[in-house]
Amino acid sequence: MSKTPLIQVKNLKMYFKVPSGLNHAVDDVSFTIERGETLGVVGESGCGKSTLGRTIIRLLEATDGQVLLEGKDITHVKGSKLRKAREKMQIVFQDPYSSLNPRLRIEQTIMEPLYNSNRFGSRAAIKESANELMELVGIDERLRMSYPHELDGGRRQRVGIARALALQPDFICCDEPVSSLDVSIQAQVLNLLMDLQEKLGLAFMFVTHDLSVVRHLSNNILVMYLGQVVEKAPTKELFTKQLHPYTKALLSAIPSVDIHNPMQRIKLKGEITSSINPEPGCRFAARCTYAKEECKQPQELVEDTPNHFVACCRVKEISGL
């Protein structure tokens, strides 16, 4: 008895026209997310992870490929079908400062999605629901009529989370939700997200550059570089054995607090280039120590060990080195 996965992404492409040509922001990405699961998407600037999230929840419309929600193709839907789909997929943004309308009290911000949908009844009922949501995310009663500028980053982020929960979605795209927060607050907000996931059975796509955070929350991880998926694996598997040279470099680049076992750093040469008018083949080749001629060919995501995919033609040779 196979259950339909909640989210299915098939060969998704998102290209943008820019003055100098075409930006291949998301290039041929495929994955599934089951109900209640978390997919971590990691990568650095320009890898396309934020664009990917926005394309899935239909803030952007894909150039090519498919996005399926509970088996239904929502890639290009419009009108009321789009609105219905959107109620099931929400987003928490990175910047707690610009993701809330500075002119609305936080109660109004949370009530707004409830107004937009006609499922939530009278004004009084909506106010009640909003209060419940604020309690759920831990916003003190005294602060419920505040304006965003009166709250600190951590609290603002909780408001953003409450807003995302308002329409009772099944899936939330968390776009670097804690990167802008202080270290001691990050852990609080992450715990909140995990609690909510357990309580409400939410599926997450957790977009971040911070591998240590994603290790904690995700069931599976997608590693992206300049729009391409370079490695895809269950979390435990990825942290035990990295196959792609970029994943290895990424992991080794994180400064470790273990002063007695310093990380053996893999040095990468050069800078992150760009996904505008890219050459065919592996986009990491320019910085890769193992790059050879065959890396200029388009790379396929190949299953190495069960469920562990990598897009590198030299992976067998490299692991043998």
Q: Select from 9-17, 19-27, 79-87, 293-301 the region that touches other proteins (CB under 8 A).
A: 79-87
**Positions in 138-197 near other proteins (CB under 8 A):** 140, 142-143, 145-147, 150-152, 154-155, 160, 163, 166-167, 182-188, 190-191, 194
DSSP class of 265: P
Question: Considering beta carbons, is residue 212 or 297 the nearer one to other proteins?
Answer: 212
**How far apart are the C-alpha atoms of 294 and 230, rounded to whole Å?**
16
Task: In angstroms, give the least distance from the CB of 69 to other proteins.
Answer: 14
Strands 308-310 and 302-305: antiparallel
- Kind and range of the H or E element at 118? none
**Interacting residues with other proteins between 272 and 291 (CB under 8 A):** 272
Three-state DSSP class for residue 45:
coil
Q: Which helix (H) or strand (E) holds 141?
A: none
Q: Which residue, 147 or 290, has its beta carbon nearer to other proteins?
A: 147
Question: Which CB, 29 or 161, lies closer to other proteins?
Answer: 161
Q: Residue 144 and residue 134: Cα distance in Å, rounded?
A: 8
List Cβ neighbours of 226 (8 Å cut-off, separation of 6 or more): 46, 47, 48, 272, 273, 274, 275, 278, 283, 284
Instruction: Give me 161's structure tokens.
Output: 């989370």
Size of the site for other proteins (CB under 8 A): 72
Q: For the CB of residue 20, give the shortest distance to other proteins in the complex, in Å.
A: 14
Stretch that binds other proteins, among 8-16, 33-41, 122-130, 246-254 (CB under 8 A): 246-254
Binding pattern to other proteins, positions 29-68, x when CB under 8 A?
---------------xx--------x--x-x---------
- For residue 290, give the H/E element and its range: none
Question: Is 68 or 194 the residue whose CB approaches other proteins more closely?
Answer: 194
**Cβ closer to other proteins: 86 or 244?**
86
Q: Which stretch binds other proteins (CB under 8 A): 21-29, 209-217, 226-234, 291-299?
A: 209-217
Host H or E run for residue 238: helix 235-240
* Alpha carbons 60 and 7: distance in angstroms, whole number: 16
Of 9-17, 102-110, 128-136, 312-320, the segment contacting other proteins by CB under 8 A is 102-110
Which residues, 300 to 319, sit near other proteins by CB under 8 A? none
- Residue appearing with tokens 């680049």: 253
